[in-house]
Chain A
Amino acid sequence: MSNVISLRVADFLKNYPPFNFIQKNRLQEISQQVKVLYFEKGDEIFKQDKKTQDIFYIVKDGAIGLYRNEDKTAKLIDINDEGDIFGLRSIISKENYHMSAIAEEETILYGIPSSVFILNLEKNKKVQEYLLSSFASNSSSSKTTISNSINSIGADQDKDNLWELQPVKYTKKVISCLPNTSVKSLAKTMSKKDIGSIVIAENDIPIGIITDSDLRKKIATGDYPIDTCAKDIMSSPVITQPPNITVSQAQMIMVKYNIKHLCITADGTINTNIIGFLSEHDVLVSKASNPSALIKEAKRSKKVSQLREIKAKSTALLKGYLEQDLRITHISKIISEINDVLTIRAIELAQKKLKKKPPVKFTWIALGSQGRHEQLLPTDQDNGLIFENVPPEKYEETKKYFLELAAIITKYLHKIGFEYCPADMMGSNPKWCLSLAEWKNQFKQWILNPTEEAILLSSIFFDFNFIYGEKSYTTELSKTIHETLSTNSILYKFLAKESLSKPSPLGFFRQFLVEQNGENKDFFDIKIRAMMPLIDAARVLSLYNKFVDINNTSLRYEKLAVLEPQNKDLYLSCAAAFKVLTKFRTKQGVFHNSSGRYIELKSLTKEDKLKLKKAFKPIKEIQETLALRFNLSNFS
């Protein structure tokens, strides 16, 4: 019976993956079987290592913590909130629960009987893909901080460039033996080759498979003697697939048949020659090793064009990660790592190109978003060069060399995909290619004689990060900044004021404020109105707290939460808000092929707007904290 309540449940479900891929009438059938479950804070929904229930959950209201017991202590793995699903993975893999689920606050869950849902799973490819990718990621749940509209944009995109859907890399040297080989000699072969399974083939046609577990269950138990023929204990027929099978298909088939190996044959049937062998391990490797493979490739690259390709691949990777809804901190880390390696390689190639060795030691620093490790989307390059202090007579030629070098580096970076900085904040600019002593002076200038104009320009420099060369220079620079700040604190006021000067995201009536004119008229500027105030506030507060070694905005807030326990809640909510905003902007950027900075309000669902508004909340609070702390009320 379809009634008002089940329709309302369907209305809710359809906003969240994978339900957004399910047809309306099917979704209503599912909704009619839903159980609405109420839990109070501390209630346990399920327990690790216990048998799975025949029901999985989506959070309607509240929050559920997932905990894993490690060394007798329960470790929080993830927090699920509205729209997140959990408890499904174990049902599909037919294993016991890997984690315990506990209500973190008063919570209402929708319980969905797995039977109703799995019936549908068989037929719906998009749902399968979604679930596979979310299971494949280490995060056990599908984090869906950003809701429907973005996800469906992602789902409709051409996914061909997603490595997830690329052909899997299988072993081409298949080790096989004949059906009448004795188990003893077969086991010797397996030990010698160090493999966990072996294909039984006749004339290159696979007829069966023997794995370690067959040997354990059938031979070691004494059920069969050790001179048994392979054909008597092998599993047959083998599951075969064609060579172009994708990573996600391979994984799906393994889950479906509950097997850990696949044979690759010429046409994918058991009647043609075996050409390859695929283990679950291969699948995992081709998934997990991807970013590291890119990094390896980057380190070996000999041409800028190769680096450019790697950059393009990392963008595809980013897209895949966003579709899988991995944690944004995890994504940032991987992408930043790749960006850093690309930059390093560009510097190395530039030095080769110049054919002259650097006359003295130098350091390449990243500034702004790359410095903060927040550069997920291709944005402008912001960087600088520090070279060793040299005697005045050598200064001219030294600077000339480094300017030349920096010009090549920035050109290479531009070719790779980091566009030139329009404000020319680059190492190739004589103003930002300085000796260590000059840099120290420059920072002292900024700190002791801040002018609003200088602050505008310099705030970006306080987020510098070491990339290449002499590490001690950046450490020294940090030290100088510390020392100078402790003698004069006027800078805080300027920085804090700068943070407060950004236009606010919401109007008096809690409506989004959009740009009034210019080419982005009527668009919402998420960078200036929401992210910059948080970035700026984090910067001034971390300078105030005298730590310069952490640049990343959410990490800064997390560190601040430790240093100022009295403001812990505010700082943690700032960190969380910043992550939400970063993910939101990144998704916008990736799926609209833009910087993600300007958002069309019409394209947002109500859910999106609510999420954004929630993320805006701490902005006002942190600004009030700044105004109070740095006594800005009568400072102008």
Chain B
Amino acid sequence: MFSFFKKKQKQFPEFWNKHLSLFKNEVNTPLNETRFIFLDTETTGLKINFDRILSIGAISSIANSINIADSFEVYIQQNLFKKDTVKIHGIRKSGIKKIEELDALKLFLEYIQNDILVAHHAFFDMGIINEALLRNGLGKLQNKILDTGILFKASKHQVNYVDKHYTLDDLCDELKIPKSDRHTASGDAFITAIAFQKIINRLNKKKDLSVKDLLQIKA
């Protein structure tokens, strides 16, 4: 009877098993020792279940330090290619060294470990990465997720609160972050990282903010 289930169980590649194994024990590190991964994806479009990832850019931080040496950038070979999205992010079909999607996902998982992922409007980036993982016969990312869009709203004083959709450009304007390299995955990831630092500063006025508190902030 049990063997029936066993047969059905799929053989995952080593790197995926490793990814899952990292989440066996709950970790509870203080905020200023936690490694956060800021990421952004450039895609062929905005439909999670149709469009594909063209590149992933990511950078990490611990406490107040964003570490450029610990950054991540891949460009992915895709067959689905739409002309009109090129205008936004400028990834042409050739010219940059591109790798297969599965290889990119493998490198990405090795990079992010079990750390908390931060993205602006994370729903989209996580959705399309998860979609890619599933397409390649793997499961969803196990990492905890933070969204700078939601965190930013929470950081705003009630007086100034406007329930609107804050784009990354809006964040740049309000937090006075220079907008360079917008619409490259790495550039947006970097901006997200700086925005995160500034938002945390606003949320952590009492100096008692924990990672748990952050994860509980809801839209």
- Interface of A with B (CB < 8 Å)? 1, 3-6, 8-9, 31-40, 43, 61, 106, 108, 111
Contacts and interface: CB of A to CB of B under 8 A. Distances in A.
A3 B73 contact: yes
B73 A4 contact: yes
Given A4-B181, A4-B184, A5-B186, A36 B71 contact: no
A36 B194 contact: yes
Interface stretch (B23-31, B61-69, B136-144, B155-163): B61-69
Interface string B33-75: 0000000000000000000000001010000111111010100
A384 to B, nearest CB: 51
A36 B193 contact: yes
Among all A-B residue pairs, the 7 with the closest Cβ atoms: A38-B197, A36-B66, A4-B186, A3-B73, A38-B64, A35-B65, A40-B201
Interface of B: 57, 59, 64-69, 71, 73, 178, 180-181, 184, 186-187, 189-190, 193-194, 197-198, 201
Nearest to B205: A40
Nearest to A7: B181
B180 A8 contact: yes
Contacts of A37: 64-66
Contacts of B187: 4-5, 8
12 contacts: A4-B184, A5-B59, A5-B186, A5-B187, A5-B190, A8-B181, A8-B190, A36-B68, A38-B197, A40-B201, A61-B178, A111-B65
Nearest to A55: B65
Given A38-B194, A108-B194, A3 B64 contact: no
Contacts of A3: 57, 71, 73, 186
Nearest to A33: B69
A2 to B, nearest CB: 9
| Candidate in B65, B181, B184 with the most chain A CB atoms within 10 angstroms | B65
| Candidate in A9, A40, A61 with the most chain B CB atoms within 10 angstroms | A40
Main SS at interface, chain A:
mixed
B184 to A, nearest CB: 5
A33 B198 contact: no
A4 to B, nearest CB: 4
B57 A4 contact: yes
B73 A106 contact: no
| Candidate in B64, B68, B73, B181 with the most chain A CB atoms within 10 angstroms | B68
A448 B86 CA distance: 73
Contacts of B66: 35-38
Given A5-B59, A8-B190, 7 more contacts: A3-B71, A5-B187, A33-B69, A35-B69, A37-B65, A37-B66, A38-B64
Contacts of B69: 32-35
Contacts of B184: 4
A189 B197 CA distance: 63
A31 B198 contact: no
Nearest to B204: A40
Contact of B68 (A32, A40, A106): A32
Contacts of B190: 4-5, 8, 36
A55 to B, nearest CB: 10
Given A1-B73, A4-B186, A34 B198 contact: no
Contacts of A108: 194
A6 B193 CA distance: 14
A61 B178 CA distance: 10
Nearest to B64: A38
Contacts of A38: 64-66, 194, 197-198, 201
Contacts of A33: 68-69
Contacts of B198: 38, 106
B201 A9 contact: no
Contacts of A36: 65-68, 190, 193-194
Contacts of B178: 61
B73 to A, nearest CB: 4
A43 B181 CA distance: 29
A33 B186 CA distance: 16
Contact of B71 (A1, A39, A106): A1
Nearest to B185: A4
Contact of A106 (B59, B65, B193, B201): B201
A108 B197 CA distance: 10
A6 B68 CA distance: 7
A61 B197 CA distance: 14
B15 to A, nearest CB: 20
B201 to A, nearest CB: 5
A40 B64 CA distance: 10
Nearest to A34: B68
Nearest to A41: B201
A375 to B, nearest CB: 39
| Candidate in A4, A43, A108, A111 with the most chain B CB atoms within 10 angstroms | A4
A181 to B, nearest CB: 56
A37 B193 CA distance: 11
Nearest to A3: B73
